[in-house]
């Protein structure tokens, strides 16, 4: 929500989802509907455990990709194209009912928080530690908060 503080952790994401689910209406300021925005964020979280369908080359991941993540980590802020789907990800739902998307993101974050298995390399950043993946998810969601407004 545009008037909400930016999330700083996955626990903040859960509290933000609480506020989002209590809202009467929210919308994306991009061409994507909220259902698509929330599904996109959930896909990213799930793919850190299940694998990304179309990873960039190992060379890209070890150079440009890891450098980009290092900059985001240093700045404490991510900036990316807010309507760029994850390469190879399933199509995003462009429906008006956004509340199932909020529940889907909540489920993905809860799954990540409880997950003890090995994490899959990020499609662009490559292999990340659990702490770095949690940070990447948090920064990704915080970046998408820029496009979300309560109506």
For residue 66, the model assigns a pLDDT of: 97
pLDDT of 1 strictly over 60: no
At 107 the three-state DSSP class reads helix
Q: Please state the φ and ψ torsions of residue 126, each to the nearest 5 degrees.
A: 80, -155
pTM, two decimals, is 0.94
For residue 149, the model assigns a pLDDT of: 86
What tokens were used for 13? 């994401």
What tokens were used for 6? 């930016």
Q: What is the pLDDT of residues 42-97, one digit of tens each?
A: 999 999 999 999 999 999 999 999 999 999 999 999 999 999 999 999 999 999 99
C-alpha distance from residue 18 to each of 1, 21, 23, 102, 109 (Å)? 11, 5, 9, 9, 13
């Amino acid at each position: 929500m545009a008037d909400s503080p930016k999330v700083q952790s996955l626990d903040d994401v859960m509290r933000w989802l609480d506020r989002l689910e209590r809202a009467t209406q929210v919308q994306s300021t991009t061409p994507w509907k909220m259902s698509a925005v929330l599904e996109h964020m959930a896909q990213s979280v799930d793919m850190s455990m299940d694998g990304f369908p179309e990873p960039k080359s190992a060379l890209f991941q070890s150079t440009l990709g890891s450098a980009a993540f290092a900059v985001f980590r240093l700045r404490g802020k991510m900036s990316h194209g807010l309507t760029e789907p994850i390469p190879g990800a399933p199509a995003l739902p462009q429906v008006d009912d956004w509340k199932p998307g909020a529940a889907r993101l909540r489920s993905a974050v809860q799954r990540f928080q409880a997950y003890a298995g090995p994490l899959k390399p990020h499609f662009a950043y490559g292999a990340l530690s659990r702490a770095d993946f949690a940070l990447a998810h948090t920064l990704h969601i915080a970046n998408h908060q820029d496009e979300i407004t309560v109506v």
